[in-house]
Structure 1
Amino acid sequence: MTVVASELSGSDPEVRVVAGVVRGSREAGVAVFRGIPFAEPPVGALRFAAPRPVRGWDGVRAAVAYGPPPPQGGHFGMDALALDAAGDDWLTVNVWSPAPGPDAGLPVMVWIQGGAYTIGMSGLPEYDGGRLARDGVVVVTFNYRVGLEGFGQIEGAPANRGLLDQVAALEWVRDNIKAFGGDPDRVTVFGQSAGGGSVAALLAVPRAARLFGRAVAQSVQGTFFAPELAADIASACAAELGLQPTIADLRTVEPERLSAAGDAVGAKMDRWADRWGRAAHRSIPFSPVVDGDVLPVTPWQALADGAGRDIELLVGHTRDEQRLLTALDGLLGQVTPDQAATALRLFAPGGQDGARRYHDGFPAAGPDELYELVHSDWLFRMPSLHLAQAQTTAGGRAHLYELTWPAPGMGGILGACHGLDVPLVFGNLDRGQPALLIGEAPSPEAEALSASMRAAWTAFATHGDPGWPAYDTERCLLQLFDTRPSVTAYPEETSRLIWQNHPFPVLPLTGRG
């Protein structure tokens, strides 16, 4: 492969990676490289395969534009964004470095975006790493396959291809980041929502061992599928196209048609509630699969068994995780007593006993609050807390946090909602969809909180200490991020007690009806 970047200025930063030479640009004092392939395009004969190392190129490759995203689900118009970006180089990395060159030895922060394992692309403006890099770290973002391409259980294909893409990106970092000024022995992986779930999964993936030494898991999505459940959902998706969930049937289907089939199933998952259980009730068609190979056990079991004992962990959640999702469903302020009762019965640990404990623990809560609490706890808050607990119990080190600062955007109705941490951590308060939560003009309060969170994240990536005591199961101390950040005992004690004995098992195929 021959690539010539003659249109670029000679003063632009140039770096040699294993596959060849790339030339980026300078933006606000930071060297930026976009769209560097870390694996061959997973199309044609490589579709649904594990990622393959990228072939080298001759000449200088322009690295000034994001690579095309992988096929996307239709949420928030992401499918249209993917179609607008031509090309099949889905698997690319982007690097922001304040000091490129082999001698800088800076800590490295590798971001994994969320999106319910259905959408997600590294080129969104909220994930621009420039502001974070100016705090003295090398920032890496990348694309990985989502939806059926990345997580569908397809006969003849390896499971968890999206996770394997993440491993391949981390291998690229190991082999190349020194040239960008990064220290390959000081790599921190961080992610939010499905990205936080991916971080948790990587702690349990044997192939990811020794590729990172620190991990930040933000609002961990706690859904992990049994192979039988994943296979049944993939079968329903293929049936939308009149096909079987096999490589032979699906390899030649246009990616956008395959994504649309996943969307169609996701939109009517309640039809399969009797056999898909909680995944159907929350319309979650894709998640990592505990397949016994790529992902041998759940993250909580892996950490309890000591798999992460040598990994320093920072983990936390927002206070009002569910509220934004309830608003998107059109239910904010509209939850009926029957809907709250159904949510408690389905998602509280122990069914009706768990529902009773919610009523007893929150006696003044109405339907809206109970609905929000149990959904927040099941999907994000308690999975995050239990990750810290499993790590600590096994003799590892974890630091816990909770974001309680209420989002001022959209009239202030969303509280400390899901996704609010993303613009605060990246420092991108005025761009991208999450910035809508901050408001049109970021306040001094928002700027100060963002600076505080960036300082904690970069300090953790630098030396493993975000600035507050490690979590232990006796004092249960954590950092609250609010107008006035403070260290205190875990404030969601009632929920903690309700969920304290829940193991967060794989979501099973519950029936055949």
Structure 2
Amino acid sequence: MLQEDQVAESTANGQRVRAAVRSGVVEGLRDGGVARFLGVSFAAAPFGDNRMRPPRPVQPWAGVRPAIEYGPTAPKEPYAPQFRDLLPEVDIPGEDCLNLNIWTPDPSAGGLPVLVFIHGGAFLAGSGSVEQYDGSAFARDGIVCVTINYRLGAEGFLHLGDGHANLGLLDQLAALTWVQENIAAFGGDPARVTVAGESAGAMSVTTLLAMEQSQGLFSQAIAQSGGALHTLTDELGRTVGRRLAKRLDLEPDRAALRLVKPSVLSAAVRDLVDEVQGTPDPGRWGSLALTLTPFAPSIDGEVLTRHPLAALRSGVNSSVRLLTGWNREEARFFLVASGAIDLIDDAALEAAAQGYGLTASGLDLYRRNRSGASAGDVLAAVFGDWMFAMPAIRVAEARNADARTWVYRFDHPENRSNHGFGAAHASELPYVFDTIHQEPTHPLIGDSPSHDVADAVHGTWVRFIRDGDPGWRQYQPNMRYVGVIAKGLNEERDPAGAEREAWDGVC
């Protein structure tokens, strides 16, 4: 039976379903046992008087708002050409970009677990409306799935020291607050929320986990290929803000930057990112010369008061269960896509490893463990561990003994049959969402993706979201159990432990 705030009506495209949220009534579609509500606003449009300011509440509306199509996406520039086929993207015009999408097995149910997913894209691109994030498979398995948008680039992560930094994080908190207040109207239990994210989304998750403002908004977290190790310092965030203003021939003043058209501002952001990545000078950019992500959460002293690892060590959100991990060959995504993997020689490998802080003996270990591998293959392993594996491990180590933490590693495919990428960055996403049938995902995961892997990965996420346990022992620094996921799930103790130890004291 539908509740009073939900109405069903059959149409040619499915069954229309209504749900009452605090701001008004929204109407979605039910089809194939899944009801979806798309483009639902969780905050007011961040333009006009609201631009470059903290998110503000949605104004209530009369009547019924349609929620059958994805809503506008945040202003952004496209991915670099070499990545566009690998990361399917969508751009939907409009100002009401702080919206979310919901898939539910039954809006009239109660007590269902909830997944809130934060997309990646280096804090510059992406949206919750990318088709590979379709939440139907989670709804099929009894989970209410929510994907969100948040402000990107300078709109979301400009830091000028004026009290308005990290607006993208505040957007994410606003979305999670909206879920707490409204998800019961879609069958979800606000006490059973898991927040998850990949890449920049995973950096967001671990940062949110370290913030006292997030307490009570979620009981579990999943961080895929992104930790808090590379958070920007206060000064580095301000350096980026000043440099962006100089590019626009403006003073580093928010009022002046608010007058710049969003399209012009996002283009300037892209140019600044190109400058950082094209001339990664440590003298000018500090650690950004290695991370190459100038727009990201920064320790501004207000929204983010201290480094996330320090906050986690102090016990913030220690009651939240965490699943964190990485893909075995993360960096092949970047090096194979660009073709750089075939251009790297031993001298370049040694210079890069030294830049990451790896000792000569550590690099020799990586070489010995990959007999016959090219210099580019070895660099991919080194860079991937520095950028993704070690941040995940450091987060797991930072949590106190009472915090429940599990670590995974995604290992598929071992033979790199997916156009040479292997278990590269973002390659787990279609398996997590069980959207491997979508052809736009195949340039990265291969033309014959494994249903066994999808069952293993998606099933692991479902178990954790539903039951609070992914299926292997928790991670402790004295034991270091890791769930290794490919066509099945295997528990291993400290896989590649010698290489992990090579980073001790470095990162």
Equivalence for 2:381: 373
Whole-Å Cα distance in 2 between the matches of residues 497 and 281 of structure 1? 21
Residues 1:52 and 2:56 aligned together: yes
Task: Give the drift of 1:44.
Answer: 1.1
Task: Give the drift of 1:45.
Answer: 1.1
Deviation string, structure 1 residues 320-368 (Cα, Å, up to 9, x no partner) = 010111123321222122221221111125xxxx243222454346522
Letter in 1 for 2:379: Y
Residues 108, 484 of structure 1: alpha-carbon distance in 2 compared, 3 angstrom cutoff? closer
Deviation string, structure 1 residues 102-130 (Cα, Å, up to 9, x no partner) = x4210000000101111111111111111
Residues 245, 355 of structure 1: alpha-carbon distance in 2 compared, 3 angstrom cutoff? farther
Whole-Å Cα distance in 1 between the matches of residues 216 and 10 of structure 2? 37
Give the match's secondary structure for 2:268: helix
Residues 271, 190 of structure 1: alpha-carbon distance in 2 compared, 3 angstrom cutoff? closer
Whole-Å Cα distance in 2 between the matches of residues 410 and 441 of structure 1? 9
Q: Identify which of 476, 481, 485 aligns with 1:481.
A: 485
Give the match's secondary structure for 2:93: coil
Equivalence for 2:29: 25
How many correspondences in the alignment?
A: 487
Letter in 2 for 1:426: F
Equivalence for 1:425: 432
Q: Identify which of 395, 401, 414 aligns with 2:408.
A: 401
Equivalent residues of 1:114, 1:191 under 8 A apart = yes
Whole-Å Cα distance in 2 between the matches of residues 492 and 45 of structure 1? 52
Residues 1:342 and 2:351 aligned together: yes
Whole-Å Cα distance in 2 between the matches of residues 216 and 137 of structure 1? 15
Residues 1:97 and 2:101 aligned together: no
Equivalence for 1:110: 116
Equivalence for 1:146: 152
Q: Identify which of 274, 289, 311 aligns with 1:302.
A: 311
Residues 476, 271 of structure 1: alpha-carbon distance in 2 compared, 3 angstrom cutoff? closer
Whole-Å Cα distance in 1 between the matches of residues 436 and 38 of structure 2? 21
Task: Give the drift of 1:98.
Answer: 0.1
Residues 1:40 and 2:44 aligned together: yes
Larger deviation, residues 210-219 vs 362-371: 362-371
Give the match's secondary structure for 1:223: coil
Equivalent residues of 1:267, 1:283 under 8 A apart = no
Whole-Å Cα distance in 1 between the matches of residues 89 and 61 of structure 2? 25
Residues 84, 271 of structure 1: alpha-carbon distance in 2 compared, 3 angstrom cutoff? closer
Structure 1 segment 55-134 matched on structure 2, within 5 A: 55-76=59-80, 85-101=92-108, 103-134=109-140
Whole-Å Cα distance in 1 between the matches of residues 327 and 411 of structure 2? 6
Residues 145, 407 of structure 1: alpha-carbon distance in 2 compared, 3 angstrom cutoff? farther
Give the match's secondary structure for 1:107: strand
Deviation string, structure 1 residues 359-413 (Cα, Å, up to 9, x no partner) = 245434652233212211221111011111222x442111111111117887541
Letter in 1 for 2:320: I
Whole-Å Cα distance in 1 between the matches of residues 199 and 396 of structure 2? 16
Larger deviation, residues 170-179 vs 68-77: 68-77
Letter in 1 for 2:313: A
Give the match's secondary structure for 2:326: strand
Equivalent residues of 2:44, 2:98 under 8 A apart = yes
Whole-Å Cα distance in 1 between the matches of residues 417 and 131 of structure 2? 20
Equivalent residues of 1:477, 1:489 under 8 A apart = yes
Equivalent residues of 1:303, 1:394 under 8 A apart = no
Whole-Å Cα distance in 1 between the matches of residues 360 and 307 of structure 2? 25
Equivalence for 1:356: 361
Q: Identify which of 318, 329, 332 aligns with 1:323.
A: 332
Whole-Å Cα distance in 1 between the matches of residues 310 and 221 of structure 2? 17
Equivalence for 2:3: none
Structure 1 segment 276-291 matched on structure 2, within 5 A: 276-291=285-300
Equivalent residues of 1:204, 1:297 under 8 A apart = no
Identity %: 37
Equivalent residues of 1:196, 1:219 under 8 A apart = yes
Equivalent residues of 1:408, 1:437 under 8 A apart = no
Task: Give the drift of 1:271.
Answer: 6.0
Residues 1:386 and 2:394 aligned together: yes
Whole-Å Cα distance in 2 between the matches of residues 431 and 348 of structure 1? 40
Task: Give the drift of 1:277.
Answer: 2.3
Task: Give the drift of 1:462.
Answer: 1.4
Letter in 1 for 2:386: W
Residues 1:414 and 2:421 aligned together: yes
Unpaired segments ≥5 residues, structure 2: 1-6
RMSD: 2.3
Whole-Å Cα distance in 2 between the matches of residues 230 and 385 of structure 1? 25
Equivalence for 2:214: 208
